Amino acid sequence: MTEAVLFILLITACHFNDAQAFEVSQADTLQIAQRVFKNECNVEKNCLLEWGPGEDFLSLGLEHFIWYPPNAPNIFKEGFRLYLQYAKEKGESLPVWLDKTPFPSCPWLSREQFLSSKDSQPYKDLMDFMLRTKLAQANYLIENTKHSLKDIIAAAPAKERPRISKYIAQLSGNPQGLYAIIDYLDFKGAGIGNSDEFKGERWGLLQVLERMGDRPTSQEALEEFVRSAKIVLTHRVYFAPNDRHEERWLQGWLRRVNTYLAT
């Protein structure tokens, strides 16, 4: 199945709300997820469990699900416990200490504590779980994209929905456009509902699509998507609290967005 065909299935699912219209082979699903994972951490095994400098949370898996320790400031949407619920529903076996109701918070309270725990059983359990559920993580990525595209179109102002739908359709004509939409959605979210914001500014996929201008071809639409994404990410850094020092990450984010144009 080609990426262009895959995206047509995504759009069909968005418009007709038919789960049966969205069927992707396991091989295609995993290939897309691996490309996202390469962006997250260059497909390094250790990056399946990572606590970045200056961050208040652990990131896990192909998609870098956020997992907060107790009492951490929950600035961003926590995705790991949502993934645990999905994995459990799909029949995946969870480590005993994770298989609780509700799912527990991250057991490490700081990056330093996490880094010193790599010989511990919880660390080994988590690494094993993330390694053996790669396909489930990939399926979750595709399922999340399917639902999010539908929600993004619905969340846009009524008069903007035809324009947003048009841009999504244009991007679907370019295999790189499919990758761009799936990766950016995983990277910075949908930008709808109770999504993250700084001083009223959001940075999700909806905001990128809203800032795009009309372009006649799918390739030009992709170039416009990249231009818009760079503006949205730069605005995020500008409006972020000064003590977060988000300018240190901006160049890496912009390099990631540039990969959408690389074949």
Per-residue model confidence (pLDDT) at position 41:
67
**Rounded to whole angstroms, how far apart are CA atoms 131 and 118?**
15
Residue with tokens 């949502």: 82
- Cα–Cα distance, 9 to 178 (Å, whole number): 11
Cβ atoms of 124 and 45 closer than 8 Å: no
Of 6, 1, 60, give the one whose Cα is nearest residue 179: 6
Q: What average pLDDT does the chain have?
A: 85
Q: What is the mean pLDDT of residues 85-110?
A: 96
For the chain, the structural domain boundaries read 3-135, 156-261
Percent pLDDT > 70 in the chain is 86
pLDDT surpasses 60 at 259: yes
